Chains A and B, each alone.
Chain A
Amino acid sequence: MTTKFNRWRNAGVIVTMSALTLTMAACSGSDAEPDASGGGTAVASGDGTSGEVTFAYLGDASQQDAFEAMFSVFNEQYPDIKLNAQGIPSGDWATFSNTVATRLAGGEKIDIIQIATEGQRLFASKGLLEPLEPYFERDQEFVDDYFDDISPRLAQFNETYASDPDGNVVFVPGGFNTVGMYLNKQVFDESGVEIPADGNWTWDEFVEAGETIKAKTGAYLVSSDAPSGYFTGVMPWLTTNGASTFDDTWTTPTFDSPAAVEAAEFARSLVEMGLSPEPGGQFDMYTQFAQGNLAVIQGGRWPTINLREVDMVDSTVFVQTPTNVSNGSPVGWDAWNITKESENKEAAWTFIKFLMSTEAGEYFATVGGTIVPARESVAASAAFTDNAPEFSTRLSEAMDFATAIPSPDRGAEVQKVIEEAWLTILTGNGDAQETLSKAQQELTALVND
């Protein structure tokens, strides 16, 4: 019966999506997803390949221009490969993973999925991805050149956390993001607070700076895109206190450890002291930063793009997240793969090699990429540091002490539990120990289920 059912699965899945959302239809308007055409035939021709490659990536409207510019460079170099790039403007990687999974289930052929750490295990664990070792072996020299130029820790993380159930390498690690802080030099100068010269400071120094800034300018000390977001809001405080949400194997939650509780209480204290805005609504963080109402923005590479838009690049300096135990940061990385369903694996590999190239990395960094380039040579080059806040290279230096953001197979559900708990604590709606213990139980159930 299962077999018979599966025979109809692909044909029926699109209508099934409609069925599940049938009840949403009456009063909810939903935008149609971009159309996709997968498939085609890859034909080796001379030195290159041809055919159609469908590439799914996360990119909102603000990033589309950068991606499109990079794709046009590829198309110039490989005119015989038709690149069907599908930017999915999901707000986070969990949503992106869900969208891609739904499309795959609907029978769409996607050749390459660019996906960040939060969604890698989902796809790897289902056995949907092609082992890449044969491709590596065939282009060993090129691949070695790439891996020699990226952080060994990035390569190690990719191997440890993003292999398939049989231990095959199924992802090529791409760019990454660590998290640090963008300081508004004008606000710090006006308050007479010194910016840490070596980029390192402690929680106590951070609070002291915030109190002075608040007293002298009335500005809030710190905010981020998502104060209770897993990557930007939760992990920086945990990792700088020697904690994390899971152990190194991502199989055992550690979200209610004493160090995690202490980190959560510290994050709450920033809100209580009026140093961080109350989470729960929405405001234009970059405008507030430019207007001097906010001294520090927490984030990875992506705030640079927004700082350019509000003309604040030259008035901003990047430092590491303050520490209580030792330097810490989460790291999440993009990765590329070839799906087993791909009918154009050769063309897909050609495109991945293009993405791995120095040229693509430099070009993407120059036109406004929101990640730190994987190649260290590119991350240290003018392509990355020009028109960027001072000391932006500290983002790649943070890789030395960064913790891979724990993202078990059921990443979206895990993320929801973590963010809900953190928001409860930040808003003062729950005691830190009690809330994290409850979340710990939920996480344990999720990884053991």
Chain B
Amino acid sequence: MSTISHKEVRRPGQVARRRRTALTGWMFLSPAMVVFLTFVAGPFVYAFGLALYDWDLLTPAEFIGLNNFVELFQDPELPRVLLNTFVFAFASIVTHLVFGLLLALGVDQLISRSLSYFVRVSIFFPFLVSWAAVSLLWKYVLDPSFGYFAYYLGLIGIETPNFFSDPAWALPAIIFIDLWRTLGFTFIILLAGLQTVPRELLEAARTDGANAWQTLWNVTIPMMSPILFFATIITFIGAFQIFDPIQIITKGGPNNSTTTMVMYLYEKGFQAFDMGYASAVAILVFIIIMGVTLLQFWGRRKWVHEA
């Protein structure tokens, strides 16, 4: 009796078929890879190289080594810009998670299915509107002389601040507008997460005499923690890159009170024509986002419930 190895029973043409299968896989992947390499990986590497040059777009670049980074860390405007960005990101995370969760809990309680759909669509709808339209809309609404806000509050004797021109109000106003537009996205994620919480656990908690708050705090939120973790990461990354509403509404003013990192990057690259310096800012943005995200992953062990 002879033994036949696995290799020996392979049918003729099997290797070729496997190769064809692999090739097919690569072909399916290739459009996405080409896009990734061209618009993400390539520019990413190029930006690292560009950060070593002094280049104004219009005349030849000059190699200056690490000078852009040295200059960046001595930049007197950087602390203010970083502070604005972190304040915006922190406020964004807190408000999105708190209000997103509250809305998700409320909508989850709705008995009428049609009403539930309507509310979900209504909350999500602003996210579908472009930043340009949203920004202009709020510029009209919050206009200090002719805006709806000033008009209706004025009728009841309340004087409104000049939201976009007062340094104390401009950043909070942008935070609010960002919340108005993007809350729907966080809400949908959290609602989906909420609906994955096993009902039997909630019923068991209630049977054990837990009140609504205890059920939320001890069952619902721990079970939702992976989704909350995901929402935190996504919100931070998005918030740290805030640009559109600031460019359209305040252009970083008044008194740089709304200049965030990406706004600063834009100013340096496309107003000061200092592409090398702008690349250095872009790299700093990348490092910060990467660092904070890694920190969040490290911290997840302490609060994220792993199934």
Q: Hey, which bits of chain A sit against chain B, CB under 8 A?
A: 1-2, 5-6, 9, 12-13, 15-20, 22-29, 94, 98, 101-102, 104-105, 123, 126-128, 220, 277-283, 288, 410, 412-413, 416, 420, 423-424, 426-427, 429-430
Contacts and interface: CB of A to CB of B under 8 A. Distances in A.
Contacts of B58: 101, 104-105, 123, 126, 128
Contacts of B53: 5
Contact of B244 (A22, A23, A28, A220): A28
Given A28-B241, A278-B165, A19 B47 contact: yes
A104 B57 contact: yes
B40 A282 contact: no
A16 B286 CA distance: 15
Contact of B270 (A18, A26, A98, A279): A98
Given A27-B241, A429-B255, A281 B275 contact: no
Contact of A19 (B43, B62, B163): B43
Given A22-B44, A28-B244, A416-B271, A277 B144 contact: yes
Contact of A420 (B39, B164, B255, B270): B255
B12 interface: no
Contact of B147 (A5, A94, A283): A283
Given A29-B244, A420-B255, A429-B165, 13 more contacts: A2-B63, A5-B61, A6-B60, A9-B60, A15-B39, A22-B282, A23-B286, A25-B241, A26-B237, A28-B243, A280-B162, A280-B166, A420-B256
Which of B38, B43, B50, B267 is packed against the most chain A CB atoms within 10 Å?
A: B43
A424 B162 CA distance: 12
Contacts of B61: 2, 5-6, 9
Interface stretch (B17-25, B115-123, B135-143, B208-216): B135-143
A94 B167 CA distance: 24
Contacts of B62: 2
Contacts, number: 167
Contact of B131 (A19, A28, A410, A427): A28
A contact face: mostly helix, strand, loop, or mixed: helix
B46 A283 contact: no
Contacts of B243: 24, 28
A20 B140 contact: no
Nearest to B169: A280
Interface in B44-78: 44, 46-47, 49-50, 53, 56-63
Which of B44, B61, B139, B254 is packed against the most chain A CB atoms within 10 Å?
A: B254
Contacts of A429: 165-167, 254-255
Contacts of A283: 140, 143, 145-147
10 contacts: A5-B61, A12-B46, A19-B43, A19-B279, A24-B266, A25-B241, A280-B162, A280-B163, A280-B165, A282-B136
B272 interface: yes
Contacts of B130: 29
A121 to B, nearest CB: 12
Given A16-B43, A27-B238, A277 B145 contact: yes
Interface of B: 38-40, 42-44, 46-47, 49-50, 53, 56-63, 130-131, 136, 139-140, 142-147, 162-167, 182, 237-238, 241-244, 251, 253-256, 261-262, 265-267, 269-273, 275, 278-279, 282, 285-286, 289
- Nearest 8 CB-CB pairs, A to B? A281-B143, A19-B43, A280-B165, A277-B145, A19-B47, A283-B146, A278-B144, A282-B139
B40 A281 contact: no
Contacts of A28: 131, 241, 243-244
A20 B265 contact: yes
Nearest to A281: B143
A220 B269 contact: no
Nearest to B55: A9
Contacts of A288: 146
A102 B144 contact: no
A427 B166 CA distance: 7
A127 B42 CA distance: 30
A1 B262 CA distance: 29
B286 A15 contact: no
B254 A15 contact: no
Given A20-B279, A423-B165, A429-B255, A281 B147 contact: yes
A279 B130 CA distance: 24
A332 to B, nearest CB: 18
Contact of B272 (A6, A13, A410, A424): A410
A430 B43 CA distance: 42
A240 B40 CA distance: 52
Contacts of B39: 15, 18
A5 B46 CA distance: 11
A288 B147 CA distance: 12
B282 A98 contact: no
A281 B164 contact: yes
Nearest to A278: B144
A15 B271 contact: no
Nearest to B146: A283
A190 to B, nearest CB: 20
A126 B60 CA distance: 10
